[in-house]
Structures are given as structure tokens and as C-alpha cells.
Structure 1
């Protein structure tokens, strides 16, 4: 069997969506950080509160919106921030459609994402609407991830960027793909954008084609860029540094090829318009005002702020991998070490094997992903308090991992070593994806026991305690099937294109470095 463009995309989409859907079904209501704020904002958009007036609604910021009463959560949380307490004490969302006015911390955010997910919450408040809203976010994220996978297979002969994709999509990312929260879709947009930019700007995609850059790449890069610009204000920073990294120093032939395409000019214009509109909306509605809740009691010196941030960076690196729920579900420390080693290996060897221009681009991506957010947290520490979270950096950090893998593909590893690396990461990180969901489900079911009391029975997610509305068996089964499907795809696709050279010419698809062909043959024989 051979996998062609749409067939491969559909298989990849199905695998990713099953993984994301498992998290969407397993989490309790308001099971991820600030989910109720985003649910209120989304339902409010469909109640007419598209651009509500900024107010001191929640934590000194936000706005007031109208929401079905069934979606309201109590002000006092009973299980959040208490890892030993199960989610059974929390009320479930109800079907009461009575409109009530409520404050939301997300009230000043760009309405685009909330218009996408809000209709089910307005029409069917309760579990039906919540799960559908989570599924909409998950489907959009899965579509972008599947597009990234197809791009890697189509335009890169050795496919080593699959290793970057595996490491970039952390359990924390999958957790937020399955939540009502724009941060999840923002991370997926980062994956789509950086995966498409590499062949568009640095590769030969469309270089020998009079029709210009491939439509597929323009759609993936353009859609991802619009999302990244619109979903959260930090996306504008990540877009800026992506442009610096990929377009400086300027390559006239690349710019001429892109600007010579009418479709490319339209997409560039659309991304620019989305960025200007998002920036204007954030200024007009004070979208970057985080309130005063997280500020300290007394001002501290710059040196103290720097030391505090350095100390807290250890927590941020764990959050990038997975500290679930309301940052109250920490996994065993060895899990973080394994993932950090995998990511660190890609980064270190990418720097070591890269040319000076590769190091420049990688440095700019790191500055945008890590340097600028850290500096802003340091500079505005007394104004905001410590508000940075590791997941906020993921939309740009995914680009670091993907680009580092591209450097290894272009400059370093031979084909066999590249295939071995992909498969090694496959058998390393996918089991962690399974463990992450099981660990979170145990916490929600009965609370995490003390490490000294953990046994086989306490780690069984189907035991007594709180269970999601669909039961716990379904999300576990969905995740296993999704992981198995992704593992099968990546294992087969890790065979480089050049390995097909042993096939008879009549049995092989034509190859032109994978460039400029939409719907081309994509994968090896299975």
C-alpha cells in the first residue's frame, strides 16, 4: 500500500485527534488552567458580547459577559491546587440556559477563537456543549499537526524533522489541544508555521516550478500565521522573530519567488492584516493588562527579580513537558529528565552540526521563544508579579525543535542514523504520552497518593472514585489507538525517500526533491 497526500493527512489527523480527544473526554469540567474563563468568553461571544467593555471583573482585569447559568462554576474551588483531592467534589456543568452576567479573565481577548468554539456552549450548556467545544479545538489542532507531518514527508528526503515533531508535541501541548483554551491551538499553529516555512524559505519547494510556491505550503503557513497572530498577544512576538530568523540575511531569490506569486502575496497580506488587527484590538481593549492579583506586596529590586526568575525556570521547563490541570499535577521527576534529554540532544547537535547561518537562525528562534518572554517577565516583575508559564513559550519552542531537526537532516546525520534517531525517540516519548494521561486521570479520580504509598492498585485509572461522563475506559482506549496509529505511521515513514532507489524505476513515484507537487506520492511501501 502507498500513502498519498490526502490519505496520509487523514490517517495522521485521525491519530492526533484520538490522542487529543482522550484528554478532552477525561478532564473534569474546568480541568485545565483557566478553562472556565475561556468557556465564559466563548459563550459570551455567541450571546452578543463580542467586544465587551474592559472592567475590573476578575483579578483586576477581564470583562463581564452573559453566559448560560449551567456553565457557571463556584467561586471557591474545591480540588484545584490540591493534588491529593479528587475532582468528585466539583459540580458538573448543567443544561440551564438562563442568561446570567459573569466576569471572565479572558474578557479582553481577541474574539476569533471564541467565535469558533462558542456556539455549542451557547446552544447546549452542559457536558455536550463543553465536549463539543473541546473537540473543535482538538480537530483544528489535529488538522495542523497532520499538515505538518504531510509537509515533512513530502518535502524532505530523509524526514528527520519527524524527530523534531515528536519532541515538540509535548504531553502539555496535547493536554491543551483538548481544552477550551486558545493556547492549545496557538501551539499547533506554531508547529504548522515553522514546518511550512522551512521548505518555503530554505528549501527548493517551487523553485523550478513556474506556478510558484506550492499551494499546500502557502495554505499551511498562511493559516498558521493568521492563527498565531490572532490567538494571543505573544503570537505577534513569535511571528516577528520567525520572520527575522528565516528572512535575515535576505535571500533575493527567495523573496522574488514568493513575491512573484499572486497567492503568496495574498497570504502575506492576510497574515499582516491579522497581525495589525490583533495588535490594535489588544491596545484598544487593554488585552495585555493582567491585573494586580499576582503582584507582590512590596516592590523588589531588579537583582532580586532576576534571581527569582532564574530559580523558577526549573518549574517552567517542567511545565513545558507537562504539569497538568491547574499546575497541580506534577509527574515523577524522571519523566521530565527523559523528555529534556531528547529535546536537549536535538538542540545541542543542531548547534554543533549547523553552519553559522543555521546557528543565527536557531539563536533568533530561541531569543523569541525564551529570551523575550523572560526579559519581559524580569522588566515588568513589580507590575505583574510572576505570571509566566512554560506552555506560553511552546508556540515558538516547537519551531526550535523542528528547525534543529532540519539542521541535522541537512548538515549532519547520515540516513541510517537519522532513521534510528526517529525510531528511538518514537519508543521513548510516546509511552510518556500514555503515562501522562493515566497519571492525570488518577489524580482526578482519587487524588495523587504519597509516593511512598503508590502501588499497582492506586495507579489503575478505572478504580473507584470520580470518572468522566463517558467513563474512563473510552479515553484510555482512544489514546492507545491514537498512539499506536501515530507510531505505525512514523515508523514506516522514517525510511528515507532515497531508500526507494532500490525499487524498479517503473514502481517508483517520480522524485524532484519533493518540490512543487501537491498531492504527490508520499510514503514508502508498507
Structure 2
């Protein structure tokens, strides 16, 4: 009896698709690259110390990078803590000659001397803030000196924020019904968000981490039966929440709101599946430890005692009513209120974002299933109630100190929640609807660029009562690094690329490169 002959085995050839990185990895890298370019361009276009409280945060970052987590001071409310930093860092307090004066250009700033590195005592109102953000952002000041060090600190802050914002935007593309969440993300990332990302200010970090926690937690809850495919998103929730809990005094409140809003959007029975997952339990433990450390810092460092202000003469009840009336007034800060609250964007930008956000919010509260819209309703209620409540508590001691940008950690997730509430509705895909989408994206890109160009005009020639755009081409008194025109053209190019990629995500029948339509797979 003869043995059966075996067929010759062909050598297995590698599948080209298997040798490429997964599509979500490529998408994350692309999103991160674009956001990093946005934040870097803002870092270069904004004069040093032109962002609210940037001198205080710069001094704090340089001090923390040198091991001074707390400074020295008395016990008086609002008293600045004293730290020891290089003289060029201490001198940043003298660079704000243009603050509150829109007709004063940035050339009034005396600049910084890179050779002034001798230890100098400086005061900072952020002296007893949580050191986590500052520990990272202050690193360039230990290597570089003078203005290059400050720009490097800004750029590093932008890269850090871009990581979490990229994780947020990536998550919106991973929902099985992604088009409404993606559209909401395009509205939620306002020029103000990108502007703050390009500065030395932890306000930006709490915005992007709160958003990352909310959207990625929603994605995980929607896919509780396939958690192995969403390990990256589980890790994002844990890391973003841990960082958020140790960012600013109100960050724990933003964290609680993000988690509550996400949980309300999904059936409670889904939570039972989460507690059986080891990675989820590990991230929950990380969040609990980080929150405990954040609370411990608030208590031991007495962070709230550093708030600056002038005692007011109105009662808390009057302050509460006033802030309720200002609800829509402070909304300008959600879109574009740059500088020391002295540089508004073009009026058309506010009109355009009012149209976008108004339509999105009305649609979100109109969906028939009640549970998907609960998260949006909670965040909307918080956005209305928190400014009056918090302002009323401190008005007699500090006066009116609330700024609209403080609420962006609620506003951005609120708009994202609106998109998530709509995700089960059919996204219009007629030819007419596609044309509307193209125009909407184009106008949004133009609005972003207009805010950027207007900021360059404000610091280059000043904003007077008469139009003076022509002066930008021959009479600029201040120029940013690389020049205002190359920066403006670069920003226009980046917004164009971002607009094309956004349109691809919203186009019917088109999926991201290398990925099937409605694929919910994630990094793993």
C-alpha cells in the first residue's frame, strides 16, 4: 500500500494589508498631526504673554520644572506665591503692555534677554495649583532660554493637548453611526479651543481631557459586549480622567459631569458587563487614585485661596441674577475671545457658530428616544447653572471673576453629546445635502482662518475704528516668528486639509482608507 502523495506546500505570502498599521492608528496619527499644526501655528502667532494669565502660568511651570511645587506666601486671599526662577522667566510679567488695549500693538513689549538666567524671585497667582501640567510644560525652560524657551513651552503644551483632543476626535469616528458625532466634533472644536491649546495655560488641558473622557466612555458603553476591540478607548478614559483630576481646581467637577452624562445615555444593565473586565477595573482604580490625589492637593495646597479679585458690593443673589442674564453674553468666549479678553473675532464668526450650535442643540433635544439625549440635557443644564452658582459664592470676596473660557470643559462635551444623541438618525445624503455639507465645512474653515488673521492684525497694526487690513502689507509694527503672511497661509492650508478630511468622514458610501463602512474597531 502506497502512501498518498502530499501536495507541495506553497510558501505563505504576507498579506499586504496585514503589514500596514491598522486604519484607526493611521487616522489617529493624521488627526494628531493636524491638531499639532493648529496649536503650533497659534503658539507662534500669539505674542508672548498675550493669553490671559500666561505670565503666572509660565512662572509656575518654570518653578515646578525646577522642583518648586509650592512657593512661599502668607495666608491672605489672592496673595501671590513667591518662587525662584531664571530672570528671563520672571521678566515675562513685563511683556503685557498691550493687554486690554486693542489699538496698542505687540511691538511695545521689551522682549526677553536669553542671557538673563540668574535666579530671581517672582510672584505667581498659580503658585499653589496642581503641578502635573506644569511639570511637563516647564521642561523646555530647563534646556532653552529666553523667548525660544517660552515658544517651546507653548508648543509642548499644544502637543500634549493635541494628544487628548485627537483621542476625542478619533472616538467620534469609531461609532457604528459616526456621521452626526463627527459633524458635532467639527462644531465643538471652536477657534477658542485651538487658540488655548497653543498657549501656556492648563485651561486647554482640562477642555480636551474632559472631552476625551466623555466621548471615549460613551464609545465603550455602546460596545460593552465587544470590549476587547476597544481597549485603547478604555485606556484613554483612564489616563484622561487621571490627568483631568489633577489639572485645575474645578477639574474634579468637570470629571464628575462627564462621567454622569455618559452613564445616563446608556442602560444601567451595561455597567454590569464593565465591572467584569480587568482593564476597566484597572482604569477605574487609576481614576480613583488620581481623584484622591487631586482632592488631597486641593486641601493641602489650599488652591482656591490663590484666586485674584476685588471684593464686590453686590449680594450673592444679585450676582446670581446678573450671571443668568449674561448667559449669552459670555458665550462669545466659547468661540473666539482672544488676548486678555480684548480681541474679539469678526462678527460673522459669531453669527456662523450661533447658527451651527443652535441647529445642533435644537435637533438634540428633539430626538424621540429619551435616553440618548439625557447626557446633552445634563450638560446643558450645567452650562446654564454653574456660572451663576459659582460666581454668587465668591462675589462678596472677589467680585465678578467668571470668564466664559472657564466653562469650555462643559460646552465642548455638551456639543459632542448633542451629536451622539443624533447618531441613530439618518444623516442626509442627497446631492443637495452634500452641497450643504461642503458649504458648511468651507464656511467653518473660513471662520477659523478669519479669527487667526484678525488676531495677527490686532497685534501687528492694532484694531482701530476704521478698517486697516491694508496696513498689514506695509506698515506692520510687530511680526510673529516666520512672519504673519506665511503663518496665515499655513493656517489656511491646514484648515483646508482638515475640511477635506472632515468631508470624507461625512460623505455617504465613503469609509476611511483601509476600513469598511461603519466599522467600530479601535486601536488595540
TM-score by length of 1: 0.88
8 A Cα contact 1:134 1:179, kept in partner: yes
C-alpha spacing 1:421/1:50, structure 2 compared with 1 (3 Å): farther
2:357 is aligned to 343
- Residues 327, 384 of structure 2: 8 Å contact kept: no
1: distance between equivalents of 2:233 and 2:438?
Answer: 26
Change (3 A) 1:61 1:358: farther
Query: Within 5 A, what are the aligned runs for 1:104-503?
Result: 104-201=124-221, 203=222, 205-207=223-225, 209=226, 212=228, 214-248=230-264, 251-291=267-307, 293-296=309-312, 298=313, 300-411=314-425, 413-416=427-430, 423-450=438-465, 453-458=466-471, 460=472, 463-496=475-508, 499=509
Kept in 2: contact 1:54–1:108 (CA 8 A)? no
DSSP-derived class of the 1:102 partner: strand
Distance 2:374 2:31 in 1: 32
Question: Residues 198-245 of structure 1: CA distance to partner in whole angstroms, max 9, x if unpaired?
Answer: 2112x2x251x3x64611111222222122211112221111122222
Alignment check: 8 A CA contact 2:265 2:373 kept:
no
Match of 2:51 in 1: 32
SS state of the match for residue 101, structure 1? strand
Mapped partners of 1:343, 1:415: distance in 2: 21
How far apart in 1 are the matches of 2:94 and 2:74? 18
What is the distance in 1 between the residues matched to 2:50 and 2:329?
20
Give 1:159 deviation, angstroms: 2.1
Instruction: Supply the distance in 1 between the matched residues of 2:167 and 2:374 (Cα, whole angstroms).
Output: 27
- Deviations 1:327-354 (CA, angstroms, capped at 9, x unpaired): 0102233321211221111111100114
Q: Secondary structure at the match of 1:380?
A: helix
The 1:285–1:422 alpha-carbon spacing in structure 2 relative to 1, beyond 3 Å, is farther
Alpha-carbon shift at residue 179 of structure 1 (Å) = 0.2
- Answering whether residue 39 of structure 2 is matched by residue 20 of structure 1, we say yes
Give the SS at the match of 1:313: coil
Q: Does the 8 Å CA contact 1:353/1:407 hold for their aligned counterparts?
A: yes
Q: When the two structures are aligned, how many residues end up with a matched partner?
A: 501
C-alpha displacement of 1:75:
5.2
Looking at structure 2, the residues matched to 276 and 327 of structure 1 have their Cα atoms a distance apart, in angstroms, of: 34
State the alpha-carbon separation in 2 of the partners of residues 476 and 126 from structure 1: 25
Does the 8 Å CA contact 1:441/1:461 hold for their aligned counterparts? no
C-alpha distance in 1 between matches for 2:241 and 2:491: 29
* Residues 1:242 and 1:474: Cα distance change in structure 2 (over 3 Å): same
Match of 1:504 in 2: none
Deviation digits for residues 347-369 of structure 1 (CA, Å, limit 9, x no counterpart): 11100114222343222122333
List per-residue Cα deviations over 1:83-106 (Å, max 9, x = no partner): 111011112122121111111011
Where 2:211 maps in the other structure, the secondary structure is: helix
Q: Give the direction of change, closer, same or farther, for the CA distance of 1:252–1:312 in structure 2 (3 Å limit).
A: closer
CA contact (8 A) 1:21 1:478 kept: no
The match for 2:103 is 84
Q: Who wins on radius of gyration, i.e. which is larger?
A: 2
How far did residue 175 of structure 1 move?
0.8
**Offset, 1:443:** 0.7
1:461–1:325: structure 2 CA closer, same or farther, 3 Å change rule?
A: farther
Paired residues of 1:212 and 1:260 also in contact (CA < 8 A): no
Indicate yes or no: 2:66 matched with 1:61: no
1-side partners of 2:75 and 2:474: how far apart?
43
CA separation of 1:294 and 1:355: change in aligned 2, threshold 3 A: farther
**Structure 2: how far apart are the matches of 1:373 and 1:456?**
37
Asked if the contact 1:158–1:415 (Cα under 8 Å) also holds between the matched residues in 2, the reply is: no
Give the Cα–Cα distance (whole angstroms) in 1 for the partners of residues 342 and 285 of structure 2.
42
Distance 1:191 1:425 in 2: 23
- 1:229 and 1:335, CA in 2 relative to 1: closer, same or farther beyond 3 A? same
Flag the 1:174–1:227 CA change in 2: closer, same or farther, 3 A.
same
> 2:81–2:125: 8 Å Cα contact kept in structure 1?
yes
Distance 1:54 1:156 in 2: 54
Q: Distance in 2 between matches of 1:316 and 1:236?
A: 23
Q: Separation in 2 of the partners of 1:155 and 1:426?
A: 21
Counterpart for residue 41 of structure 1: 60
With normalisation by structure 2, the TM-score equals: 0.88
